[in-house]
Amino acid sequence: MSSQSKPRILFCREEIAAAVSRLASEISKDYRDRHPLLLGVLKGSFMFMADLIRLLDFPLEVEFIRLSSYGRGRESSGKVRVVAGLSSPVKGRDVLVIEDIVDSGLTTSFLLDYLQKKKPASLKLCALTDKPSRWQTAVNIDYLGFTVPDKFLVGYGIDWDERFRNLPDICYLEGED
């Protein structure tokens, strides 16, 4: 893949909006009256989080954590790091993790273990996309937007080498399988 790779649309903005709306309905049904803590995983989840919470019309709290598992390029380093931690207590809270993508599953799996140790009242995962063909560890996704093929995704918050996060559609890079 070169820096000239051209993004092709996999899911357009209308399809994304429909998926986000469906997820918001499912989450509303389960979390209304529970004042949940929605925890976005930076940077990739910022756009999804922003669209999702605008459709949730009940009290909730927004928090972010910044993890990093990828170096510059496609392959995960396999080592997950907390780059910027939490500022809200998790103990006793209903925590819903918001991810843009589950790829190898290593990041999410690390995060769920990390959070579980802090004794939340409940802990669930909402992921916009899941790429089961690349899983290295099994992850239970409670709320899922799209199952995606083994293509390198960019757009709607997701980057390649820090590029393309601003694309409004979920795209893949041409030249990838």
Binding site for ligand PRP (CB under 6 A): 41-44, 67-70, 76, 99-108, 159
* Rounded CA separation 44/53 (Å): 16
Q: Pick the catalytic residue from 33, 103, 113, 159.
A: 103
Query: Would you state the structure tokens that stand for residue 54, as one six-digit string?
Result: 């605008």
Cβ atoms within 10 Å, residue 168: 12
Cβ atoms within 10 Å, residue 50: 12
Minimum distance, C-beta of residue 119 to ligand PRP, in the bound complex (Å): 23
Q: Which residues is 142 bridged to in the sheet?
A: none
Sign of CA dihedral 21, 70, 132, 122: negative
Nearer to ligand PRP, 35 or 66 (CB): 66
Minimum distance, C-beta of residue 22 to ligand PRP, in the bound complex (Å): 21
Nearer to ligand PRP, 82 or 121 (CB): 82
* Rounded CA separation 7/173 (Å): 5
Minimum distance, C-beta of residue 162 to ligand PRP, in the bound complex (Å): 8
Nearer to ligand PRP, 36 or 44 (CB): 44
Note if 159 is an active site residue.
no
Q: Which helix (H) or strand (E) holds 95?
A: strand 94-102
- Residues with catalytic function: 103
